[in-house]
Structures are given as structure tokens and as C-alpha cells.
Structure 1
Amino acid sequence: MVHDSYRDVWDILRDEITRILEDCEAILILNLRFASTEPQDNIEVEEGETYLQTFFTKSVKNVVKKIVEKFKAGSHMELKRERGEVTLFLQSSGRLITDDLRSMVRELVGGQGYVLEYIEGEIRMDEDISALFYGSPSKLIFILPSADGRKLQILETSL
């Protein structure tokens, strides 16, 4: 289902997620892939650290730290000199989880020293997967159960 207005799609998505979760607590698992925008030779050694830290790794760590503090999320990072992956975990209510996801991605876009290349994740209620999503910062595709429970629906969103 493709919609013209991204605002309408986010509203529809929020309503659908709320319907699926029945406003119960859910867990958002957000996997992010980053790449450096800096030249390879911009490397410095942090005092007391045994590995090389680049502007890229510092930038990603800083933005993830801000998100963890703001949203009270958990995180796991695997960063190399020029590439990295971050997983964020957030527990939230069904009504808020969509807005939290959108706000997190907006915070991650446009930082210095890195580009957010790919996003994928899921929304879980207990052991059940309630929604899957994947894409880029400019377009996310959500796969959710339809209201009748027999089909899947696809929502395409823009930030």
C-alpha cells in the first residue's frame, strides 16, 4: 500500500501497530548499518585505549549515547575504522513505539563523519513478532498482519 503523504502513512502505521499490540508494552529492535564519510587516514589513538579510534567511531558512539539516554534504550555496537553496526533495544507502549522509532531514525540521520546506510528491525510483543521493517533513512518498508489476520500488509514510509 503506497500513500502520497508520509504524514498519513505514519498515522496509519501508528494506528495499525496500536491495533496489533493493543497498547501493550512491546520491544523495538532496531539494527543499523553505518559507513564513514571521512578519509581513511583520519585516525588517532585515544589515551589509554588499545585500539584505533576514528572520527567515524567517535561520531557513531556519540549519537548512540544520546539516543540511549533520551529514549532509555539499550545498545550493542560493533564498530570498525570505517564501517559499523549498531543494535538498539527499546521497550515502549504500542501507541508510542512508532513515534519513538521515527524520532530515533531522525536523530541518526545527518550526523557528521558517518552515513546511515541501512535499517532493519522488528517490533516484538513477548515472543511474537508483531511487525518487521527494513530500508534506508529515506524509505522504510513495514510488513504487518492485516486486520483479518490472514494476509500481510505492506506500508511504505518516508521520513
Structure 2
Amino acid sequence: MGSYIESNLIKDEKVQYEGKTSIWSLLPKILLGLILLPFYGIGLILWGAAAITYYTTELAITNKRVIAKFGLIRRNTVEMNISKVESIQVDQSILGRIFNFGSVLVSGAGDPKAPIPGISHPLKFRKMFFEVQEGSSTAIPQTSPAAEVA
């Protein structure tokens, strides 16, 4: 588990699912790095950028929030309360379908949108989110009118 997510869990919050960045989503940087490697080592910079993206991106669904953290020095975070999320959209290209990666767009109340690009197994991420959301809903069970009369 990533240190950012663990250090920012609130009281009684537990990680239910942890996502990963797909190495396939970083393929353009890796291939361009391979092509540019002979040119003064510019390819090493692209490989380093791909490695930083892969190792510093943290994605998690907890029983209370969706949390995503991007970046090493410059940090960009997305944290949205599960009860405030209205929809999750998955966007996959043809290569994304073949190699099982894509982007997830989390939409919440008031129409803020939080994109999470290049996630591995985006449909599983969406499914786990809805399972956690369903389990954390605190709906009060209603009794039927017939039960109240008896």
C-alpha cells in the first residue's frame, strides 16, 4: 500500500480495493524512449518519467472515499466521498480493451469530475467501487404498512 493513502486514512476508514497504473498506458513513453535512447540519452529521461508515473501513482477505494494520488515532487490528488459520487465512466481505446487498461472518470455532486487516467482493469475498479458504495449505504429499512398494523 502506498504511503500517501495510508497516511491520509481517517477514523474507521479501511482500504477495500487498490488499483494500479497500467504499464500498457505508459507504452508511448517507453517506445519513444527506446527510439530516442541513442540521441544523448534523451530516452532515459522518458523512461524515468514513465517509471515515476508508474511507481508514484496510488489509487484506492476505501469504505468512505475514492482516493487517487499522482506525482512525486508535484502532487495532484483526487479524493471524493463515496456518498457524493453520482457516476463512474470508463473510457477504453481499442488498445485499452486488448490490454485491459483505460481511464476512469468519477463524477460527483455539483458536477465536479475527477479523471483517473491509465488505470489497469478499469471495469474491475468500477465494479469494486459500486460494491463498496452499496455496502456503505446507510439506508434505513422501511417496514411495510401491513407490518405496522399487526
The verdict on a shared fold, with TM-score over 0.5 as the criterion, is no
Which structure has the larger Rg?
Answer: 2
Bucket of the pairwise TM-score, normalised by the shorter protein? under 0.3
* Structure 1 or 2: more helix by fraction: 2
Kindly indicate whether structure 1 or structure 2 has the higher relative contact order, using CA contacts under 8 Å at least 6 residues apart. 1
TM-score by length of 1: 0.27
More strand by percentage: 1
